[in-house]
Amino acid sequence: MTLNPRLALALCVSLSLCALLAVPGNLPGLGADARLTLAVFALATCAWIATPIDDTYIALGAGLALTVTGVISSDTLFGTLGDSTVWLLICAFVLAAAVTRTGLAGRVAVFLVGGARTVRQLTHLTTAALVVTAFAVPATSGRAALALPVFLALAKALADRKRLVVMLALLFPTVILLSAVATLIGAGAHLITVSVLWEATGDRVGFVEWLLLGLPLAVVSSHLAAEAVLLTTTRRADREGPVRITPEEIQEHSDRPVTGAWSQAETRCAALLGTVVVLWCSEPLHQVSPAVVALIGAVVASSPALGTVRLKDALRTVPWSLLLFMAATMAMGVALADSGAAKWLVGGVPTGGVPPALFLAVVIVVSTAAHLVLQSRSARSSVLVPLVVAAAVGAGVNPVAAALASTAAAGFCHTLPASAKPVTLFAEIPGTPTYTPRDLLRLSAVLAPLTAALVLLFAVAVWPLLGVPVVR
């Protein structure tokens, strides 16, 4: 049996680090708890990178190891499952199940995409529609699954223009991934970032604060990415000529009506979703936690009288594996902060005297490239954010700005078909032309520096105007 070279290298690195940490007298200033935490952290990171073992299983094993060794208490480990951000995500998935059941997505697609008359209009109207879904469906994989039937309808309508179909196939996952930063529930990585910031610094980033900072970035980056996709996958001849997408063509791929009068269920669901989003955005006025608002919405959405989905059916759509992963990695973040491991780990990095903009640039570049090593977005935040926060404190940079910049930059994961689930989903569609690895590489060569530069611009020029200065 031949050992995978990547796995062999990861084992050598992790075992060497563990051996170094185990020798008493080495690494002065590092306590016993910090040594154990770093050893577990190193093993978990290497396992995420180099083994096919499920990410959640690795995270749970790491959390259990930290609990058994006494680095963190069992209350800390199990208490993370009761965190308000976890409840927010659970309830958001219940609401998303209600929206999916009614077929509102098809009506939105007809309303927006049906108005396109040129290729560029179609591209940007599709982008706008995908950005809006960040408020209705949590997690990028869920949004990709919801958007797939719409793409198939567009692909059928444009069957005689193959390059446009390939362009749309690449546009959907690209915008879904980059627009996730619009909301706190856009990706599990966001909730991990919020938790790490709270545990390490006491800074709480709520739904409204994230929306204020993330939505402008999501809109700008998504539409710039749409132009990049359009220009790198099509020729001028492909972009010429009118397009016309009829409601009947979208209806063929939807089991719910997309035209005509709205049903009572659709009206109730749209009103409920609109109310929940408004309440989330107006939290400073009524002081009701977003998690409580989401719970109220989930109860109404699944109620026998007013709901559109049964609670047990909605709960089947909740990614419990992701929630357990988040809880375990939150516990790892607590251990890194409380044991002093994160502070020690970045203590040797020469951050003193480094200009804040340069520090943020390095963080963004590393976070942008991290998907080549860690394919799980949540795993990337679990590894990077605690270290970024600790390094930011040492460098005199606002840890909130650094953590948000790292998380936003990590949203770029387009280089390979396996880099993200939405990219994989749209790369393998039987009977429909789609993109190749070469198309992804060509797009990434343009999109990676573009998104990194955009995140840096927001971090140093836009976010300070919105209350998050670079230096605190």
pTM for the full model? 0.80
Q: Which helix (H) or strand (E) holds 100?
A: helix 84-102
Q: Residue 338 contacts by C-beta under 8 Å, 6 or more apart in sequence?
A: 33, 72, 199
- DSSP character at residue 292: H
The two tokens of residue 261 are 């009068």
Mean pLDDT value of segment 215-221: 94
Residue 233 is encoded by which pair of tokens?
């996958």
- Highest mean pLDDT out of 47-51, 241-245, 441-445, 452-456: 452-456
Average the pLDDT over each of 108-112, 341-345, 451-455 and give the range with the smallest value. Answer: 108-112
Neighbouring C-beta atoms of residue 255, cutoff 10 Å: 8
Q: Please state, in angstroms and rounded to a whole number, the distance separating the CA atoms of residues 133 and 137.
A: 6
pLDDT in tens, 233-259: 888 877 777 777 766 666 665 666 666
Residue 357, Cβ neighbours under 10 Å: how many? 13
Residue 429, pLDDT > 80, answer no
- Here the tokens at position 56 are 């959640």
Inter-residue contact 393 to 403 (CB < 8 Å): no
pLDDT at position 18, please?
A: 58
Quick: pLDDT tens for 292-332: 888 888 898 888 877 788 888 888 878 788 788 878 888 88
CA distances from 65 to 62, 79, 331, 332 (A): 5, 16, 11, 10
Tokens of 286: 């009524």
